[in-house]
């Protein structure tokens, strides 16, 4: 779950985007039903087909009403967006088809400065190039009417160019602001994700370091006295018991180093490292794994491997390790030509050890039954 500060920032970004939509809608409504409607009514007698202008105005009003309804519900245009853009362009074309000659970009041409805002309202959450393409299409509609149906005098072209500055410029500024806001929101969200990723990585590294220090402290309680005894001569290297202790400590260290490796099957991976210690002293070790099982926690893996280490440490020439498991049981067994072995007692619940001795052969099995939470 994201931190409360992230949720607050996301709420702020959502409120800013919603506020921009509301402000743009208010401006569009004021221009269409304020300035546009007033200009149309004042010159209503000048239109050759007067009813076309109210129809075009109603079409723009329908799009603005749709934006208001979506704002109330907190939803974007979605699939209806392009249908709304088509309605705006169709309303613009209808108004120009019924426009008197020589009146392009004048006060009679009320839709020249109205349809542009309605289109930007619909395209406010789209990339800037989309809003720019719409404004260009709206501008070309007026320009085509000027060229084809009006006399394109220098005065008319100058009037059209002057009007285009506001018709394109102001809505484009709003579209740029919306694009900048989207960019800042995306950059902020990406930064938050990166910060969370770094935090998680740091937490995992700190926990791994803490566990390693704890395990090293546990090993030092048995390894350091052994090394000190060998150093001061109180322990003899040729003593079989000392050799066995050295083999066990070496196996524990190898398993400790393997605990932090990222592998698909940590249990088998750590057993292989322990088997390498016995292999170095001439013991032929076979390791076989069958089945699939949930990954045991580190503490459980230690309890599953420690008894096997005690057998491998006393094996004379051969040992065979078998790992068999499923969703409800994991079994690690070892058969070796060892003497009598006294395995350590498991620390974690659910781990059980069973040992059988027959002359110079020992068989040992360590079983773990995961809980339902661990099995899932």
In 3D space, the residue among 149, 129, 73, 138 whose CA is nearest the CA of residue 111 turns out to be: 138
Q: Stretch 77-99: mean pLDDT, rounded?
A: 90
d(CA 111, CA 46): 15
Q: Stretch 23-45: mean pLDDT, rounded?
A: 89
pLDDT tens-digit readout, 227-253: 888 888 888 888 878 877 887 788 777
The total of other beta-carbon atoms located within 10 Å of residue 314's CB is: 22
Confidence of residue 55 (pLDDT cuts 50, 70, 90): very high
pLDDT tens-digit readout, 13-33: 777 788 888 989 999 999 999
CA 181 to chain centre: 21
Specify the range with the lowest mean pLDDT, choosing from 23-27, 58-62, 199-203, 207-211: 207-211
Look-up of token digits 């800037």: 128
List Cβ neighbours of 334 (8 Å cut-off, separation of 6 or more): 307, 308, 311, 312, 319, 320, 321, 322, 363, 364
Tell me the Ramachandran region of residue 100: left when phi exceeds 0, alpha when psi lies from -120 to 50, beta otherwise.
beta
Contact assessment for residue 286 and residue 308, using Cβ atoms and an 8 Å cutoff = no
The strand pair at 318-325 and 284-291 is best described as parallel
Compute φ and ψ for 211, nearest 5 degrees: -65, -40
Residue 168 has pLDDT above 50, yes or no: yes
The total of other beta-carbon atoms located within 10 Å of residue 233's CB is: 8
Confidence of residue 373 (pLDDT cuts 50, 70, 90): low
**The pLDDT value given to residue 9:** 62
- Nearest 10 degrees: CA dihedral of 218, 223, 224, 228? 160
Specify the range with the lowest mean pLDDT, choosing from 67-71, 144-148, 183-187, 196-200: 183-187
Tokens linked to 137: 């299409």
List Cβ neighbours of 138 (8 Å cut-off, separation of 6 or more): 88, 89, 92, 115, 116, 119, 167
pLDDT tens-digit readout, 274-313: 888 888 888 899 999 999 898 898 889 989 998 998 888 8
d(CA 363, CA 353): 11
Between 330 and 181, name the one with better pLDDT.
330
Confidence of residue 1 (pLDDT cuts 50, 70, 90): very low
d(CA 116, CA 175): 11
d(CA 173, CA 106): 23
Between 333 and 238, name the one with better pLDDT.
333
Q: Which domains does the chain have, with CATH numbers?
A: 4-195 (no CATH), 278-375 (3.30.565.10)
List Cβ neighbours of 231 (8 Å cut-off, separation of 6 or more): none
Tell whether the torsion through CA atoms of 175, 180, 183 and 185 is positive or negative: negative
**The pLDDT value given to residue 150:** 67
Residue 5 has pLDDT above 70, yes or no: no
| Summary mean pLDDT of the chain | 84
**The pLDDT value given to residue 56:** 93
In Å, how far are 271, 289, 323, 336 from 286, measured between CA atoms?
11, 10, 11, 10
> 168-175, long-range: CB within 8 Å, 24+ apart, which pairs?
168/116, 168/135, 168/139, 171/116, 171/117, 171/119, 171/120, 171/131, 171/135, 172/131, 172/132, 172/135, 174/20, 174/24, 174/27, 174/120, 174/124, 175/120, 175/123, 175/124, 175/128, 175/131, 175/132
Residue 3 has pLDDT above 50, yes or no: no
**The pLDDT value given to residue 372:** 66
Rg (CA), the chain: 40
**The pLDDT value given to residue 188:** 73
In Å, how far are 34, 109, 189 from 31, measured between CA atoms?
5, 13, 35
**The pLDDT value given to residue 363:** 92
* CB half-sphere exposure, 342, CA atoms < 13 A: 3
Residue 2 has pLDDT above 50, yes or no: no
């Amino acid at each position: 779950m994201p931190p409360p500060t992230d949720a607050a920032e996301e709420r702020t970004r959502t409120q800013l985007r919603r506020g921009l939509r509301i402000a743009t809608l208010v401006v569009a409504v004021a221009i269409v039903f304020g300035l546009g409607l007033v200009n149309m009514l004042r010159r209503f007698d000048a239109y050759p087909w007067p009813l076309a202008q109210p129809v075009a105005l109603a079409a723009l009003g329908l799009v603005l009403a749709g934006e208001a309804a979506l704002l109330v519900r907190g939803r974007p245009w979605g699939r209806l967006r392009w249908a709304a853009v088509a309605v705006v362009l169709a309303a613009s074309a209808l108004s120009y088809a019924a426009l008197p000659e020589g009146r392009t970009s004048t006060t009679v041409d009320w839709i020249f400065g109205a349809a542009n805002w309605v289109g930007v309202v619909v395209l406010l959450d789209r990339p800037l190039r989309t809003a720019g393409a719409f404004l260009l299409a709206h501008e070309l509609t007026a320009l085509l009417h000027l060229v084809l149906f009006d006399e394109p005098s220098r005065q008319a072209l100058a009037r059209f160019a002057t009007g285009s500055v506001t018709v394109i410029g102001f809505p484009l500024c709003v579209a740029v602001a919306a694009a900048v806001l989207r960019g800042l929101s995306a950059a902020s969200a990406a930064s938050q994700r990166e910060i969370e990723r770094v935090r998680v990585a740091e937490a995992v590294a700190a926990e791994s370091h803490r566990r390693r220090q704890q395990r090293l402290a546990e090993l030092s309680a048995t390894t350091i006295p052994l090394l000190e005894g060998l150093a001061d001569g109180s322990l003899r290297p040729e003593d079989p018991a000392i050799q066995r202790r050295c083999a066990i400590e070496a196996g524990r260290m190898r398993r400790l180093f393997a605990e932090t490796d990222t592998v698909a099957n940590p249990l088998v991976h750590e057993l292989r490292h322990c088997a390498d210690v016995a292999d170095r002293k001439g013991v032929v070790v076979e390791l076989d794994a069958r089945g699939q099982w949930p990954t045991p926690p580190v503490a459980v893996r230690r309890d599953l491997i420690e008894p096997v280490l005690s057998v491998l440490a006393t094996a004379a020439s051969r040992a065979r390790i078998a790992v068999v498991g499923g969703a409800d049981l994991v079994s690690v067994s070892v058969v070796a030509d060892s003497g009598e072995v006294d395995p350590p007692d498991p620390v974690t619940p659910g781990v059980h050890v069973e040992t059988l001795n027959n002359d110079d052969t020992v068989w040992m099995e360590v079983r773990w039954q995961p809980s339902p939470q661990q099995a899932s």
